[in-house]
Amino acid sequence: MPVLFGLVILGLIVLVPVLMYNSLVGKRNQVANIFGTMDAMLKKRWDLVPNLVETVKGYAQHEKSLFENVTAARSRAMGGQMSADEMVQYDNAVSKLVGVMRATVENYPQLKAGENFLHLQRTLNELEEQISAARRAFNAAVTDYNNSVDMFPTNIIASMFGFQRKGLLEFEAQARQNPTVGF
Amino acid sequence: MKTLEQVREFYESELKQSLAAMEQDRQKMISKAMTVAGIIGAVGLVGGLLITQMGVHNGVLLLILPGICIAIGVGAFSVANKNYKTRYKSRIIHKLITFAQPGLEYWPEGGISKEIFTGSKLFTHSIDRYRCEDLVRGKVDKTEILFSEIHAEYKTTSGTGKNRRTEWHTIFKGLFVAADFNKHFRGRTVVLPDTAQKAFGLFGQTLQSWNPSRDERIRLEDVEFEKEFVVYGTDQVESRYILSPALMERILDFRRRLRNGLYLSFVGSKVYVAIPLDTNLFEPKTFSSAAGFESIKEYYNQLRFGLAIVDELNLNTRIWTKE
């Protein structure tokens, strides 16, 4: 009987840390998985760049440099030569471009009536909500993971195996504002 | 949707006459029922007396005769009552619904099929008895919608032989709505009242994650929403795409105005909503008049309630690629 009891205790001593380790790995993978989804959605939005530039360039000549920068950055992004920081900057530029488009439309109602534009606007609305959903999902996954890294007793396993806290995504205040465009 | 004032005008010009005729029908039915009850009572009494006169003092026989008489009376009355209600529904309520919201159709005997009900994934219990009535179907602006009353039950049996007892338990009874959702999606998201968290707090949350009959638990950042509901889904990102912060706010607001809870699911490009109700929708009264404007107003409000989900969830806003 004592032997059996000892074996059960030994089993638990081995099993519990294994389960905790696995749950940490699972949560870390969940973060990576959602990051992948978000990345895919950002790229989808980038695919709309030529279309966006085409729509507004005739109406917003003074933003020419923005168009050129974004187009150049897009070809680099498509070639896969971007660092993470560059990606963030590029995404901000795309957000600015979307803002320019919205502001331009306000001043040129005839743009609004076009079928192409309507479709573009719907696609953009959809992608933006999807990106925002992915950001929220990412933050939820990171919070879940960070809780495990910080809380007892999983924090013991986390520090033993080098699980680091991850940062949350901040919503870009700038991306939410429409830039003022003078004509 | 027509306003109450327009409905009142319609009542004055179109419905009043038919309602008066229906009211006559109802009164005739009641007086017939009284006469029949009198006759049956008399037959039962006379029959009972005759039997005793014949010298038979068998208690069982004396009980059986009035029993049969009552059963015949009740059966005949319920058939007449059902006929009256069906006539009322097809003559009055049908007219009212098609006037109040053009583009809608109404089938008093129709209902949402069991397949759609189980396909919504709102209730996972197997169903032994399924009843539905009062189907309303059509388009409200851009949104296809159908709703009906549903009563789904399961049974349990206990004991053996003579002591065998069957009990029926309600899975869901109330209003069930299926509407076209305004965003494209592929997976499944189910929003249920949060009973476990309310009862057990944090431990309840853990319990919810282990629910084997449900998909992955989706934890949302809206604290109020999380307190009220528990969300399961097949895709963490897609569920959040459907449940945008604005929609969560709207769902919460709608929930606060309901008494018995709210169940929602998003499956196959559709939103399904189940609202438990104690009342029976579009049901004319038998023992009091259903000819006044008050009754019409009640049916109109019930119709508005059935269609409320379109506005509550803003389903006619089509700013995404789904038109």
B13: which DSSP letter?
A: I
B320: which DSSP letter?
A: S
* pLDDT reported for residue B34: 84
Q: CB distance A119–B321 less than 8 Å?
A: yes
Q: CB distance A130–B236 less than 8 Å?
A: no
Q: CB distance A129–B244 less than 8 Å?
A: yes
Chain A residues lying within 8 Å of B184, measured CB to CB: 126
Q: CB distance A137–B244 less than 8 Å?
A: no
Q: CB distance A141–B236 less than 8 Å?
A: yes
Q: CB distance A144–B219 less than 8 Å?
A: yes
Give tens-digit pLDDT for A145-183: 999 999 988 899 999 999 999 888 765 544 444 433 332
Q: Of all residues in chain B, what percent carry a pLDDT higher than 90? A: 54
Confidence of residue A121 (pLDDT cuts 50, 70, 90): confident
> Are B89 and B135 contacting, i.e. CB atoms less than 8 angstroms apart?
no
Neighbours of B113 (CB within 10 A): 14
Among the ranges given (A90-99, A146-155, B22-31), the one the predictor scored with the smallest mean pLDDT: A90-99
By Cβ distance, the residue of B219, B240, B321 closest to A126 is B321
All residues at 6 or more sequence positions from B268 whose CB lies less than 8 Å from its CB, including other chains = B119
Chain A residues lying within 8 Å of B182, measured CB to CB: none
For residue B229, what are its two tokens?
């509901």
Chain B residues lying within 8 Å of A126, measured CB to CB: 183-184, 320-321
SS3 B184: coil
Determine the residue of chain A that is closest to B237 in CA distance. A134
Nearest Cα neighbor of B234 from B177, B179, B185, B182 is B185
Average pLDDT of the segment spanning B38-62: 74
| Chain A touched by B237 (CB under 8 Å) | yes
* pLDDT reported for residue B72: 81
Confidence of residue B60 (pLDDT cuts 50, 70, 90): low
All residues at 6 or more sequence positions from B190 whose CB lies less than 8 Å from its CB, including other chains = B121, B122, B214, B215, B231, B232, B233, B264, B265, B266
Query: What are the CA-CA distances from residue B213 to residues B44, B125, B227, B231 (Å)?
Result: 56, 10, 21, 13
Confidence of residue B291 (pLDDT cuts 50, 70, 90): confident
> Are B122 and B113 contacting, i.e. CB atoms less than 8 angstroms apart?
no
Q: Note if the bond before B245 is cis, omega within 30 degrees.
A: no
* pLDDT reported for residue A177: 44
By Cβ distance, the residue of B183, B240, B321 closest to A137 is B240
Average pLDDT of the segment spanning B122-131: 95
All residues at 6 or more sequence positions from B251 whose CB lies less than 8 Å from its CB, including other chains = B191, B225, B229, B243, B262, B264, B312, B313
How many CB pairs (< 8 A) connect A and B? 44
CA A44, CA B107: separation in Å to the nearest integer? 45
> Are B196 and B154 contacting, i.e. CB atoms less than 8 angstroms apart?
no
Chain A residues lying within 8 Å of B238, measured CB to CB: 133
All residues at 6 or more sequence positions from A59 whose CB lies less than 8 Å from its CB, including other chains = A104, A107, A108, A111, A183
For residue B78, what are its two tokens?
């319920």
Bigger pLDDT: B136 vs A127? B136
Instruction: Give, for B174, the enclosing helix (H) or strand (E).
Output: strand B165-180
Chain B residues lying within 8 Å of A132, measured CB to CB: 244
Nearest Cα neighbor of B321 from A129, A165, A109 is A129
Q: Which amino acid is at B131?
A: R
* pLDDT reported for residue B32: 85
Distance from CA of A80 to the nearest CA of B (A): 24
* CA B171 distance to own-chain centroid: 12
Nearest Cα neighbor of B281 from B168, B104, B135 is B135
Average pLDDT of the segment spanning B43-55: 76
Q: CB distance A133–B221 less than 8 Å?
A: no
CA B190, CA A154: separation in Å to the nearest integer? 30
Average pLDDT, chain B: 88
CA A30, CA B121: separation in Å to the nearest integer? 25
| Chain A touched by B238 (CB under 8 Å) | yes
pLDDT at residue B115 is higher than 90 = yes
Give tens-digit pLDDT for B79-110: 888 889 999 999 999 999 999 999 999 999 99
Bigger pLDDT: A71 vs A112? A71
Q: CB distance B241–A130 less than 8 Å?
A: yes
* Interface test mutation site (partner B, options A35, A51, A129, A142, max chain B beta carbons within 10 A): A129
* CA B273 distance to own-chain centroid: 12
Chain B residues lying within 8 Å of A34, measured CB to CB: 236-237
* pLDDT reported for residue A179: 38
Please give the torsion angle defined by the CA atoms of residues B16, B21, B22 and B25, in that order, rounded to the nearest 10 degrees.
Answer: 160
